[in-house]
Structures are given as structure tokens and as C-alpha cells.
Chain A
Amino acid sequence: MWKKGIRVIVSFVVVLLVWQIACTVTNANATLFPSPVKVGEEFVKLFTQGLEGSTSHVTLPGHIRISLLRFATGYVLAAVSAILLGLILGSLPKVFQFINPILQIIRPIAPVAFLPFIVFWFGIGDVPAIVIIFIAGFFPILLSVVAAVQHVDGIYYKIANSFGVGKVKTLFGIVFPAIFTQIANALRLALGTSWIFLVSGEMVGAQSGLGFLIMDSKNCMRFDALLATMITIGVIGFILDGLLRFAEKAISTKIGFGV
């Protein structure tokens, strides 16, 4: 644990040092190539006062809060609906054969491509970002859950049949826990992509949030603010992944897979 922490610190210190030295030595344009010190200063400013010259007076914690709320809404909706639908479609292979081709066509379309429609239908605000996150999370989770249900060990069905367990209870009480590990993996992958697409959703369809802050910094030609926001996005994504991993581990230990 300690060794890991030290390695992380060392790699960050080296990157920051190289970055700072490069800025000082080359005497580059401070606006186009902001130094880490400048980014750090701007980060503190964003945190306390918000972006200078922006139309919005929201500070960085405000943007983070808005983004996280949107993210939570879209991601939880996507996860719950995709898991439910995946369990059902997975146990109806004949129906899934009809639905699968459609899913396979929709899946490769970047979620952002839906944006114009969404913005025109729902207007600018929370909804476009939430819908983008939903689309980004829904399809990968759905397809993983369907595949997991279809490949669940046949013995579970035999056991359920032997002991008179009903269809619904078999699906939620036996198949669902049996594929928990695969579901957890799918949730983690989807968490990453959803967080990435949150930013793109907010870049176009919102007047607040971290994605908006990226666009706002660009429009104000404030590359130090831009970098500070980018780093914030990366750190939060990393923390979210860590939280989910922690939750996954705790649950699998609790339900007996971790023994």
C-alpha cells in the first residue's frame, strides 16, 4: 500500500517538474502553454471565485456538484434499466435474436451524435447531458448482462426446476447473483465511458457543469482554467472508479464470492 502510494507521488512529481522546467526553459507563450504553477493558481481561483470573464458565476465545486448530479441520474437510470432489461432479454433468446441486430446498429453510433435531436427536443440544460450519459452507459451494460445470462451455468436452471423455484424468482434470486461478477465488470466499464461522455454532453447541451467549464475556458482563451478543469475531470473519474471497485468488492465479499 505504502509502496504504491510512493510510486504514485513520484510519477506525479516527475511529470510536474518536467512540465514546469519545459515552460521555464523554452520561455513559451504563457497563455498557450500554462505552467503547472499557473494552472495551480487558476485552480484555486476557480475553486473560490469561478472563471473570470465567464457568463456564469458558478465556482468549480458548483460545477462539480451539477455534473455529478447529472452523472448520477443518467448512470443509475442506465444501470437499473439495462440490468432489468438484460436479465429479461437474456432469458428470452428468441426475442433477443430480433432485438440484437437493432442494438448492434445503434451501439457503434457515438452518443454525442444524438445531441442535436436531444437539444431540439428537450432544450439546453440537464436533460441532454443526462440522456447522453444514459445512452453511453445503457448499451454496454445491456449487452454484457444479456451475454452473461445466456452463458450462466445450466446447473442453476436445473436446480431451480428441481426445487420448484418460479421463473421470476429464478431470474432475480438465482441468475442475478450468479452473474453478479459480470454485471459488476460491465458497470465499471460503463462508468468510465459515461463519465467521458458527460463532458461531451455538457460541452454542447448545457450552461453549467464541468463540460461547460471546458467550453467556457476555451471561449475565454483561458488555457490554464481549461487544464485545471481537465485535471479535475480526470481525478473525479478516477475516484468514481475507485468507489465502484470498493463497492463491488464489499458486495461480493458479503454475498460469498470473496471467500
Chain B
Amino acid sequence: MYIDVSNVSISFEENKEQHTILNDVSLQVEKGEFICLLGPSGCGKSTLLNAMAGFLKPSSGEIKIDGQTVEKPSMKYVTIFQNYGLLPWRSVQKNVELGLETKKLGKEEKKKITDHYLEMVGLKEAAKKRPAQLSGGMQQRVAIARALAVEPEILFMDEPFGALDAITRMKLQKDVLKIAHETDKTVVFVTHDIEEAIFLADRIVIMSANPGKIKSIMKVTLPKDRDRTSDDFLLMRDKVYEIFQMKEERNIEYFI
């Protein structure tokens, strides 16, 4: 098992009250898989991702990547955030070089790697620009290039397209899928957008809130090149809707 989350609970204390964000979550991810964590806000999907990426220690349970317990962030698994996290005082090129600086590479080599990944995300022309001169979608592309530049094995993506408009989002979804396949990455992708999850994922981890836990894991049985308007896609979407609506039906019974 490549990523192994076993019996992880995360809780914190506030005003002497115990709040449980994640309750006994277990999840296994294979190398090269594209996993989407899908759920409403408050279901702990971002918390789970942050714990997997090493930003957060589980209160109990354990997370292992490639056999090693996750204790802190590492360049082996880089996170991409919703608000990009670019350094506004650096040019696009210098932003992408950030992770390479700790690797002590020569100037030439850094530029070669940076150029390669900027080209991959379609931003080679923007190398000299500042983040503030780019659109949101382009900024997120820079963040993706920066993550790819350190050649991680896993990409953790925390609602990366949540702040983008629908059309830009679809374009980026397509590109991320292509890049993940080309570079053979394992991706864990947090989203609350059902279609986004179906379009991207090999498996969708559906989570529910209060306390956050995994409700079910659904394998997406669609071909790699997915068509959002195809019948199979819509069928898949209905399936996810069903899983989410089970809770509502219970509520209706309750009110009757």
C-alpha cells in the first residue's frame, strides 16, 4: 500500500470542549492513483489532506507514505492550495525555482527545470511576470509548475480550483489530469464539486460531517478520457447524488 491512513482521528479542545474533526478514518491509496476527497464543508476533507501532507499530527492513528510514518512536510509530497501561495515579490520564474533553491542546483540546471515545467503548464511566456499580473487560473498553473519542479511523487491538492470561474476550472481539470498521467503522479485532490470529482478521480472518497468520516468509497468506472455530457458520466453523477441524498431522505422521514 502506497499511502496508508489507518484509524486516524483528529480532535482539538476549545473552551474545554472536545471537537472531533475526523473520526476513525482509514484509507489506502495505490501508487499512481487519482483520489478525490469529496464532501460538504466541515466533513474534515481538508483536515485529512493536511494530515497526509504532514502539516497536522493526528490525535490518534497513523499515516504512512511508502512505508514511512508522515511526521512533517517533505518535497516527496507537495501540496497545492486554493489560494496558490505564490510569493508576490518574486517573478513567476523565481516562484517556480523556490523548491529548487534548497536542492542546491546550478543556475543553468534550475532554469532548465523551470522552463520545462512552465512549458508543461503553458506559461513559458510569463516567466518574467509577477503573480499579480496573472489571472487566478494562471497563478494556480504557476503553483502547479512550482510543485512539479521538485519532482514529488505525490501531489496533494486542497480545493485548488475553488476560487476559479467554471470555464477556467474545467480547463485546469483537463490539464491536471493530463499532467498527472504524463508525470505518473499519485494525486489526492480535495473538492466539494461532484462533477469535478467524477471527471478527475479513479476513486472518490465520499465523506460526511459531524464528525468527519468516510461514508463510502466509489470507484469511477469511466474511461480515462471522460466526457462530461456522456450518459455514463451522468449516471455516475446520479450515483453520487444518491449517496448524499440518503441522509436527506432520513430527514424527511423524521419530519413526517
Contact = CB atoms under 8 A, between A and B. Distances in A.
Interface in A125-181: 155-156, 158-159, 161-166, 174, 177-178, 180
Interface in A11-51: none
B132 interface: yes
B88 interface: yes
Contacts of A178: 87, 89
A152 to B, nearest CB: 12
A259 B132 contact: yes
Given A163-B99, A165-B102, A256 B78 contact: no
Nearest to B94: A256
A155 B102 contact: no
A257 interface: yes
Contact of B130 (A159, A162, A174, A259): A259
Given A256-B130, A256-B132, A161 B90 contact: no
A174 B88 CA distance: 10
A155 B85 contact: yes
Interface in B65-111: 72-75, 78-79, 81, 83, 85, 87-91, 98-99, 101-102
A9 interface: no
B144 to A, nearest CB: 13
A255 B79 contact: no
A156 B81 CA distance: 11
B150 interface: yes
Contacts of B212: none
Contacts of B91: 256
Contact of B90 (A163, A164, A256): A256
A259 B54 CA distance: 34
Interface residues of B, number: 27
A162 B87 contact: no
Given A155-B81, A256-B130, A259-B133, A162 B90 contact: no
Given A155-B83, A255-B89, A163 B78 contact: yes
A177 B89 contact: yes
Given A259-B130, A259-B132, A259-B133, A164 B88 contact: no
Nearest to B150: A163
Interface in B53-71: 53-55
A159 B75 contact: no
B88 A158 contact: no
A169 to B, nearest CB: 8
Given A162-B73, A163-B99, 20 more contacts: A155-B81, A155-B85, A158-B73, A158-B81, A158-B85, A163-B75, A163-B78, A163-B150, A164-B74, A164-B99, A177-B87, A177-B89, A180-B89, A255-B89, A256-B88, A256-B90, A256-B91, A257-B89, A259-B130, A259-B133
17 contacts: A155-B85, A156-B87, A158-B85, A161-B72, A161-B73, A162-B73, A162-B79, A163-B78, A163-B99, A164-B102, A177-B89, A255-B89, A256-B130, A256-B132, A257-B89, A257-B132, A259-B132
Interface of B: 53-55, 72-75, 78-79, 81, 83, 85, 87-91, 98-99, 101-102, 130-133, 146, 150
Interface of A: 155-156, 158-159, 161-166, 174, 177-178, 180, 255-257, 259
